[in-house]
């Protein structure tokens, strides 16, 4: 469902498992930091709301969204985390750069999801302009960081239920 039709922060809290004991890493792009830091804050607040302890939430920064894949891989290689949430924002410009970056990040994170034994959460906004980005980073369409945190909690809980 398009985020224009859905508030990214709304979810049924009765369907969210406890995040108690979960170890979650966030890798956050510094490019468009006004947006990505709002996504980060939404994710951290949501993880804490569902029981994750501050000491079990680790935040790391990379220069841009393209670097999210490498940062996420390096975090997974430490074997310290149950999930890695990747947060970025790539705003459409006048060149095809947008397409290359978005495609590379999506494929890179998909590859990590199928290679590693932990979930990598795609929390990358791909709006046409800054106004759309703000609307999805705590504005009228909610916060994609909240949605990413809920997704991480659900995926970690699913994995734990299977072992």
Q: Would residue 19 count as lying in a domain?
A: no
Q: Would residue 23 count as lying in a domain?
A: no
| Cα gap 142→139, rounded to integer Å | 5
**Which residues are tagged catalytic?**
97
Give how many domains the chain has, as a whole number. 1
Q: Which structure tokens are listed for 74?
A: 């390096």
Q: Would residue 34 count as lying in a domain?
A: yes
Q: Would residue 131 count as lying in a domain?
A: yes
pLDDT in tens, the chain (163 residues): 455 567 767 788 889 999 999 999 999 999 999 999 999 999 999 999 999 999 999 999 999 999 999 999 999 999 999 999 999 999 997 778 888 999 999 999 999 999 999 999 999 999 999 999 999 999 999 999 999 999 999 999 999 999 8
Q: Would residue 5 count as lying in a domain?
A: no
Q: Residue 93: which CATH number?
A: 3.40.50.960
pTM for the whole structure: 0.93
| Cα gap 102→107, rounded to integer Å | 9
Domain limits for position 102 = 28-162
Q: Would residue 122 count as lying in a domain?
A: yes
């Amino acid at each position: 469902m398009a985020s224009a039709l859905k508030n990214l922060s709304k979810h049924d809290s009765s369907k969210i498992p406890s995040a108690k004991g979960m170890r979650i890493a966030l890798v956050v792009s510094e490019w468009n930091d006004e947006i990505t830091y709002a996504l980060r804050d939404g994710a951290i607040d949501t993880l804490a709301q569902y029981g994750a302890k501050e000491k079990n939430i680790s935040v790391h920064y990379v220069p841009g969204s393209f670097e999210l894949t490498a940062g996420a891989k390096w975090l997974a290689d430490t074997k310290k985390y149950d999930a890695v949430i990747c947060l970025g924002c790539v705003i459409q410009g006048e060149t095809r750069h947008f397409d290359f970056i978005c495609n590379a990040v999506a494929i890179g994170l998909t590859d990590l999801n199928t290679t590693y034994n932990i979930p990598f959460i795609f929390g990358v906004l791909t709006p046409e302009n800054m106004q759309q980005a703000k609307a999805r980073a705590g504005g009228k369409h909610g916060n994609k960081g909240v949605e990413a945190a809920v997704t991480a909690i659900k995926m970690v809980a699913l994995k734990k239920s299977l072992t």
